[in-house]
Amino acid sequence: MATGIGGQGIQLSAQVLARAAICDGRNAMLFGSYGGMMRGGSTDASLVLADGPIDSPPVLSRCWLGIAMHHQYLSGLLDKLDERSVVFVNTSVVQDRIDTEASVIGLGATELAVETVTAVCATMVMVGAVAAATSLLSPDALEAGLAEALPSYRRQHLELNTAALAAGREAGFELARNDAIPAAWTSR
């Protein structure tokens, strides 16, 4: 599950992950939710990825992996985590202590995006980091998922978002070296 505020790219990032999972030969089901405002309102996305069929809609009571891009609507995500979960937190924005049993992995995604591409790509940086740190999805699948998910009126941003995924991927490899981050899949 990913959460943030409208305008951060939460819905796009969930679409990228879902499409990338399909490119990697997995099944995916996505449910996006957002408030009435285009920018600044609540937004979250629930995504179920599986090796086999997915039988029900992704209305999640628990989740293994979370992405928190903003502190304002974080409580709904935290309620779904337990001691087996891992949550990646954008420490550029979420600076308070996170009260959860889950493993908390901090990454200054917005800062890294500003340093490497542009601030509007912070969520793609986080997606690249999460995918690399957990071995969730292959880099080729992420890039293909991005190319499929990016709307036609945003195609001019494909190169920036691809660079953001790459910057995140490098950060994710570094996070995995320094923290005991569980792998998304046990085997194929």
Domain boundaries, the chain: 2-178
What is the model's pTM? 0.94
Q: How confident is the model at residue 36 (pLDDT cuts 50, 70, 90)?
A: low
Pairing of strands 42-50, 27-34: antiparallel
Inter-residue contact 12 to 76 (CB < 8 Å): no
Q: Over the stretch 58-79, which tens digit does the pLDDT of each residue have?
A: 678 899 999 999 998 899 999 9
Average pLDDT over residues 17-37: 91
Please state the CATH superfamily assignment of the domain spanning residues 2-178 in this structure: Pyruvate-ferredoxin oxidoreductase, PFOR, domain III (3.40.920.10)
Please give the pLDDT value at position 171. Answer: 98
Please give the pLDDT value at position 57. Answer: 74
The overall average pLDDT reported for the chain is 93
Inter-residue contact 124 to 13 (CB < 8 Å): yes
CA distance 1 to 76: 10
